[in-house]
Amino acid sequence: MRAILLTGAAGFIGCNLARLILRADPSVRLVALDKLTYAGSLANLESLKGDPRLIFVHGDVADSPLLERLWAEHGIGEVLHLAAESHVDRGILASGPFVHSNVVGTQILLDVARARGVRRFVHVSTDEVYGSLPEDRPDLKFTESTPLSPNSPYSASKAAADCLVRAYYHTYGMPVLITRCSNNYGPHQFPEKVIPLFITHLLQDKPVPLYGDGLNVRDWIHVEDHCQVLWELLNRGRTGEVYNIGGECEMTNRALTETILREMGRTWESSVRFVPDRPGHDRRYAMDITKIRREMGWSPRRRFDEAIRETIAWYRDHESWWRAAIQSS
């Protein structure tokens, strides 16, 4: 069988990717590694329980002996590396865990994978490594050649990991590629991120906290679109390359808030509370996905107006899941 190591498998994107892979290829044995910190939960993989092709392993991506054992036991040939500390606010409060997981963890995983002759290594990064775009230049977008200019401990740790992955390609000829994606949304996202945070607040009749003036711009992509292209890149992306991934759905946080309020039948006056802006808050992100569209024939399929309604419905129907997630944090 085809053995794939998926790190961060019990997290938001990881669990959605695990389901997609096991549907897409019956020959896959998926070694699902997760540390099960506050944002990772076995409940996210509940629908896959009993599938003999899924082998869940509770462990740290920075645990070299564990990784060596997984390679020896399962003959891993490919890696999808998603494991990361990813919440910007937590990184501002304490950057140490971000450096450990995102930088040291990536380095250790690279070393073991290289020594074991990995056939393909996909490192999943973020658009935040590019920094911020000017508000007065809507024509500008991040391309794969945009210089890295991270502005938070989180994005700095991801940029450092990206540089390590790139170095292992150029120094050792390791078959790696890097993806940088815009903001994801969809089912199973931990409720500290803005969309599930706002939805779960409103479901509890609590006001939503909107940073600053609410005019920061983000590009949104549904997690299923992201997972689909990650799977395609694992199978046929060019090694040594960086691929930007985006939903072509830019909007201000204020517009995002208005959409969620409208879909949930709430008013701005009764449901929004402005809070002081986050330190170092990037003003605008926008992704140019020309390269991935040209090389992979891929473009996002999920329309935001439809997918956000489905996302709201998912959280409404899975109250026990998000309440348990909040309590675990």
Report how far Cα 152 is from the mean position of its chain's Cα atoms. 16
CB 89 within 8 A of CB 110: no
Burial of 29 (0-12, 13-18, 19+ CB in 10 A): middle
Please give, one letter per residue, the 3-state secondary structure of 233-253. Answer: HHHHCCCCCEEEECCCCEEEH
| DSSP E strands, the chain | 2-7, 28-34, 54-58, 78-81, 120-126, 176-181, 183-185, 208-211, 217-222, 242-245, 250-252, 272-275
Alpha helices in 30-136 (DSSP H): 64-74, 88-93, 96-98, 105-115
Active site residues: 127-128, 154
- The CA distance from 15 to 25, in Å, is 16
Buried b (16+ CB within 10 A) or exposed e, 213-228: ebebbbbbbbbbbbbb
Burial of 80 (0-12, 13-18, 19+ CB in 10 A): buried
Q: What share of the chain is helix, strand, coil (3-state, %, to 5)?
A: 45, 20, 35
